[in-house]
Amino acid sequence: MDSIFMKIIRREIPATIEYEDDEVIAIKDINPVAPVHILIIPKKFIPTVNDASEADAALLGKMILTAKKIAAEKGIAEDGYRLVMNVGKDGGQTVFHIHLHLIGGKKLAFETA
């Protein structure tokens, strides 16, 4: 299976890479909603959270800890930020390769929709 994020991981499509290791890549969102908007993406292709299994538990945790590290590097850890994973069409997911949004750098309104 493939996704636009797999193409970015393979360097077939350009992106601004903020962090990368063997398991995850973090890129600037192409359409940022806040001064800091970074996507933390596993290199393993998992379409949605619904497709994740117990075997992915460490990888999912790694995504959160990667976001935490980047937030500190960006200087937004103390003021706070938001971590979001959209799931499926009603959850607003548009790229079907799981990713964690790290959003911050301004006071965020509480939004449910």
Catalytic residues: 99
The reply to whether 4 sits near ligand 5GP by the rule CB under 6 A is yes
24 beta partners: 42
- Alpha-carbon distance of 77 to 13, in angstroms, equals 30
**Residue 3 binds ligand 5GP, judged by CB under 6 A:** no
CB under 8 A, 24+ apart: contacts of 80-86: 80/104, 81/36, 81/105, 81/108, 82/108, 85/49
Kindly state the smallest distance separating residue 83's Cβ from ligand 5GP, in Å: 12
Nearer to ligand 5GP, 2 or 54 (CB): 2
- Site for ligand 5GP contains 53 (CB under 6 A): no
User: Site residues (CB under 6 A) for ligand 5GP?
Assistant: 4, 13, 15, 27-31, 39, 86, 92-95
